Structure 1
Amino acid sequence: MRLLPENASMKFVNEKFPTCDIALLAGSASRGEDTETSDLDIVIIEDSQRSYRESFILYGWKIEAFIHNYNSYLKQFEIDRSKARPILANMILYSKVLKDNGKLSDIRLMAKEFIENGPPPLSDEFIKASRYFIYDLLDDFVDSKNDEEALLTLNNISLQLSDFILRLNGQWSGRGKGLARALKEFDEKLYYQFFDVLNSYYKFGKKQPFIDFVYDIYKPLGGALFDGYKQNI
């Protein structure tokens, strides 16, 4: 029998981490937006030397547990900052409290400040690399000989491009659903334009709208880069 999300989460914490200091239910289940395929994302903070993640299937749920101590969550913030994906900070800030020893307010303040500070700006080298590799993939898309080649190449470009647009504009990025949501939150008009040009190929087999979109994004940065591009390997 599948328990209600909060009941399952409390049971999990009590059985698996009874001595923890802080326990949080994050993700869609914490917002009442869970579906049949949703899992429970649970953040555990305890006075321990260990930090890790572990997966379980219990009480009719898939459960992802993220176990941190009072140092490791800050280290994870910095890892997330380098990827421009504030995953743990969002989980801590936007979650249901299952257990709190009184220290959660300070940790949430750290998470809030982390998110408000935003990701680091892109370096010139990163931008040059994007100009080189995105256009290399775009050439592959243009020259693709069949749908299979074109689809895989387009999917590859679309993920890198949407991430690049966000990071270029000082925005946090994401992955999966989070990437789409971040792009829409940043610029709704651009979001719909982006998916319109993707669907021009997915639905109608037209490549040019997407090619033009890529050119428009990179034109202010100097467009394609090939001659003279150098990268340490």
Structure 2
Amino acid sequence: MALRYPDANLILLAGSVVRQQAKPGSDLDIIVLGSQEAPYRESFLAHDWPVEAFVHTSASLELFCQKDIERRRPSLPQMLSESILIRGDLELAEQVKTRALTQLTAGPKPKTRLELDQARYALTDLLEDFEAQDVDTALFILPQLLSCFFDFFFDSQNLWRASSKWIPREIKKHNPDLHQTLKTAILAFHKENDATLVISLIDRYLTPFGGRLFAGFTLGRDDV
């Protein structure tokens, strides 16, 4: 890494290897700070290891972290917070990690009532489509419905959003009962064509925020 990034002030290792969760084919997540050509991202092999490198200046690192915070998916701050130093100044590395931990601990900005109502409206629309369709059609609605539900769950609980493999991990971490119920509901639909568990689950999480929302929802009118 030192040869590939000779101008780097810091090279940090993050990801599944650091968390001791690596599986065959897992890549090494490398964060490089100080390159004059940054920011950029590249993938390559090093000693037969797949490597994904995120190369930044100090300014771009802060900018990209802030963008992650604003979109409620703090991928880069999470990597920084768990990283270990490969090369560079230990004090600087600790400053970078502390900054990331502070951002993560602060949590996302709470959603406004209007934003939650917009999310309820979108989720209601997908849920009623899913509910009304035959199984063959509902099968293709389910992924988007679940994606919308996951975002609603994280937002309504004021938690960081997750994506891909991190969705079940984060749900299990914060709400083990929901994690188990989701698995049961999804398997019931795929194995038995039974949509009732998915529908009742989403309705249950909508209820504390007013339930399904269609009639009376207005957006963009100044007189409301």
- TM-score (ref. length: structure 2): 0.90
**What is the correspondence of 1:1-233 to structure 2 with a 5 Å cutoff?**
13-46=1-34, 48=36, 50-101=38-89, 102-147=91-136, 149-232=137-220
Q: Does the aligned pair in 1 maintain the 2:35–2:55 contact within 8 Å?
A: no
Q: Does the aligned pair in 2 maintain the 1:163–1:179 contact within 8 Å?
A: no
Structure 1: which 4+ aligned runs deviate by more than 4 Å? none
Percent of aligned pairs with the same residue? 27
- Look up the equivalent residue of 2:144 and give its one-letter code: N
Q: C-alpha displacement at 1:193, in angstroms? A: 1.5
Q: Distance in 1 between matches of 2:25 and 2:151?
A: 26
**After the TM superposition, which of the residue ranges 210-219 and 161-170 deviates more from structure 2?**
161-170
Q: C-alpha displacement at 1:124, in angstroms? A: 2.1
Partner SS for 2:3: helix
Q: C-alpha displacement at 1:227, in angstroms? A: 2.2
**Structure-2 change in CA distance of 1:194 and 1:146 (3 Å):** closer
Q: Distance in 2 between matches of 1:205 and 1:181?
A: 26
Q: C-alpha displacement at 1:37, in angstroms? A: 2.3
Q: Does the aligned pair in 1 maintain the 2:13–2:28 contact within 8 Å?
A: yes
Q: How many residues are treated as equivalent by the alignment? A: 219
- TM-score (ref. length: structure 1): 0.87
Give the RMSD, CA atoms, in angstroms.
1.7
Q: C-alpha displacement at 1:59, in angstroms? A: 3.0
Q: Does the aligned pair in 2 maintain the 1:23–1:44 contact within 8 Å?
A: yes
Q: Distance in 2 between matches of 1:99 and 1:57?
A: 19
Q: C-alpha displacement at 1:49, in angstroms? A: 6.4
Partner SS for 1:41: strand
Q: Distance in 1 between matches of 2:86 and 2:166?
A: 24
